Amino acid sequence: MAGTFAFVVSLMDGEGEWDISKYGGELRFQCEENNPRSFSGWCKSLKPSFNSLVLIQTRGIGNHIPGPWHEVLSVNDAAQENGFYRYGFTGWYQDEADVMSERDRMERDKMRARN
């Protein structure tokens, strides 16, 4: 839980459609349950595409329920071998009303890029 919202801007280069069974690289989401923080498996996948934006509510504020767990899988070598490339930009927006606990800050810091 790194902020109030996470975003993924997806850019894809290559002729034709991205084949996740060959190339990997999908953004996938957990199954919907009554408790969005109770993991029960992966149910939905989005393949890399050109010019797409995905917003995910990562932390609930007030009565809002946070979005599902998600992950981005690595791209296989077969993608580049067939002329397909995935580019992505990710980030977080934190609402000023969202005060993070010490535990949440530690989790956020684990996800930050390293030099």
Q: What's the start-to-end Cα distance of the chain, in Å?
A: 22
d(CA 69, CA 1): 9
Please give the residue that has the higher pLDDT: either 50 or 85: 85
Question: What are the two backbone dihedrals, phi and then psi, of residue 66, each rounded to the nearest 5 degrees?
Answer: -65, 155
Binning pLDDT at 50, 70 and 90, where does residue 42 land?
Answer: confident
Percent of the chain with pLDDT over 90: 15
Note the residue count of the chain.
115
pLDDT at 111 > cutoff 90: no
Here the tokens at position 1 are 């839980």
Q: Is the pLDDT assigned to residue 2 strictly greater than 60?
A: no
Secondary structure percentages of the chain, helix, strand, coil, to 5: 15, 35, 50
Alpha-carbon distance values, 31 to 3, 15, 38, 110, 112 (Å): 21, 32, 9, 25, 26
pTM above 0.95, yes or no: no
